[in-house]
Homo-oligomer: A and B are copies of this chain.
Amino acid sequence: MTNVSGNFQAPTYLAQVEQWGLQEITLHSTRHYDNPFTEVQLRGHFRSGEQEVVAEGFYDGNQTWKVRLMPQIQGRWTFDTSSNDPELTMQSGSFDVGVPGPDNHGPVTVQGQYHFAYADGTPYFPLGTTIYNWLNRDEKLELRTLATLTNSPFNKVRFLIFPKYYLYNTVEPPLYPYPLIGERTLSPDRFSGELFANSVQSVEEAFDLSRFNPAFFAHIEARLRELQTLNIEAELILFHPYDSWGFSNMGAAHDEAYLQYVVARFAAFRNVWWTLANEYDLFGRFLGDRMKEEKNWDHLFQLVQKLDPYQHLRGIHNCFDWYDHSKPWVTHVVIQHQGKELYQVTLDAKKKYSKPVIVEEYGYEGSIPFEWGNRSAGEVVNLHWEVTMAGGYGSHGET
C-alpha cells in the first residue's frame, strides 16, 4: 500500500474556544484496521506558554479519531499529535482561547478543605438529585427528565453510564455501550432480587467488549452539554451492580479499556465528576473470580487519576461498608447512610477524612414499600437539614 501524502486530511478544530470550553481535534485515517479501537494509539499534546496538557485520543467510528481539550488558561494554544498511524501522527495546529461565557465558571474543585468552588473562585454549593438510569430508558422519559431539570433548583445530578437492571428498571436500553454479537437474549421483565445474577448470557457471548459503540457515548455527551447549559454538574457513576448485561463483571482488562475510553471522551467537559461506583462494596460479595475488592477499586481510582488531565472530582458510593476515603485519590467523601444520627455521622466523616462530605443517599423521597425509597417530604427536609448543619452536603432522590 502506498501512502500519498497529498491525500492526507488536515485535522479540523475550532479557531476559537472559551476558557474551560471544549476543543475537539478531528482526524481521519484511510488505513484499514481489524480493530481500530485497540490497534491505534493517538495522543494530543497541547501547549500554551508554560502549560502543557497531554490528552488521549479516541476512535469515534467511521474512520474518525478525536482528541479533546478543556483549556484551563486563556491565550494562544498550539497542538500536535502522536500516533502509530502515519496519517494521524504529527498533525498540528493552533487556536485561541478567550474569556469564558457569563455562566461558565470552570470545573468544580475542593475549596477550604470541606467545601467546593468553581475554578474561577465562585462558591459552589452542591444540591444534587439522582437520575440513575435516565439515559438508558426510552427517549420520551429522558426528555421529560430533562424538562424537569430545566425547571428545577438542582445544580448537580448523579447518573449511571451503564444501563440499570433492578426493581422498577427492567427494560433493555435503546443503545448498548458495546456492539452486540448476534442476538441479545432480553433481560427478564421481572427482577429476581439477586444482584449480578440476572444476566441471561455471559457478557462476552452478547457483546464484543473489544470495541465500543460511539453512538452510545455521543448520546451521553449531548446531554452533558445540555446539563452544562443548565449549570448542572454531572456526576458520572462509572460502575454499578444493578446489572443484567454483565458490564459489572467484564474483568480487569475490559474495565481499564472502558475507563480509558470514557476519560478520553468525557474529561474535557467541565461539569464532569467521577464516581467510581455505586454501592462499590457489593461487587466483592457476590462475584467469583471477577469480584472487585477494595484493592481493585484502588487501582481503578488511580487509573482515572492518571488519565484525567484536569483532575475532576473523584468519589465512590457505598452500600454497607465505607471505602477508606483517606486515600489520596479520593477528593471528597461520598456516603450512603440511611440509619440514625445523620448529623453526627456527617460530622465524624468530616473529622476523620478532612475532606468535603456529600451524603448521597440518606433515603429517597417516595412511597414504595422499601426502606431506601419511602421517606416523606418532611423526613427528607429533616435529613437534609442534619447533613447541612454538620457542614456536609446532601443529595436528593425520588422514587
- Closest Cβ of chain B: how far from A77's Cβ, in Å? 20
The interface residues of chain B lying within 8 Å CB-to-CB of A146 are 143, 146-147, 150
The interface residues of chain B lying within 8 Å CB-to-CB of A230 are 140, 143
* Copies per assembly: 2
- Any chain B CB within 8 A of the CB of A12? yes
Contact digits for A79-115, partner B, Cβ 8 Å, 1 yes 0 no: 0000000000000000000000001000000000000
A1-B7, A4-B2, A28-B63 known; A147-B151 Cβ under 8 A: yes
A9-B63, A62-B12, A147-B151 known; A229-B1 Cβ under 8 A: no
- Any chain B CB within 8 A of the CB of A222? yes
The interface residues of chain B lying within 8 Å CB-to-CB of A143 are 146, 150, 226, 229-230
The interface residues of chain B lying within 8 Å CB-to-CB of A148 are 147
The interface residues of chain B lying within 8 Å CB-to-CB of A62 are 12, 26, 28, 64
The interface residues of chain B lying within 8 Å CB-to-CB of A150 are 143-144, 146-147
Give the interface size class of chain A. Answer: 20 to 34
CA distance A1 to B6 in the complex (A): 7
CA distance A309 to B77 in the complex (A): 46
The interface residues of chain B lying within 8 Å CB-to-CB of A103 are 140
A147-B151, A150-B146 known; A7-B7 Cβ under 8 A: yes
The interface residues of chain B lying within 8 Å CB-to-CB of A139 are 226, 229
8 Å CB contact of A6 from B32, B63, B151: B32
CA distance A151 to B208 in the complex (A): 39
- Any chain B CB within 8 A of the CB of A125? no
- Closest Cβ of chain B: how far from A1's Cβ, in Å? 5
The interface residues of chain B lying within 8 Å CB-to-CB of A8 are 30
The interface residues of chain B lying within 8 Å CB-to-CB of A151 are 144, 147
A143-B146, A150-B144, A229-B140 known; A61-B9 Cβ under 8 A: no
Whether B26 pairs with A9 at a CB distance below 8 angstroms is: no
- In the complex, the chain B residue whose C-beta lies closest to that of A143 is B150
- Closest Cβ of chain B: how far from A143's Cβ, in Å? 5
CA distance A150 to B6 in the complex (A): 50
The interface residues of chain B lying within 8 Å CB-to-CB of A140 are 103, 229-230
- Closest Cβ of chain B: how far from A53's Cβ, in Å? 23
Some 7 contacts from A to B, beta carbons below 8 A apart, are A3-B4, A9-B30, A12-B62, A30-B30, A140-B229, A143-B146, A143-B229
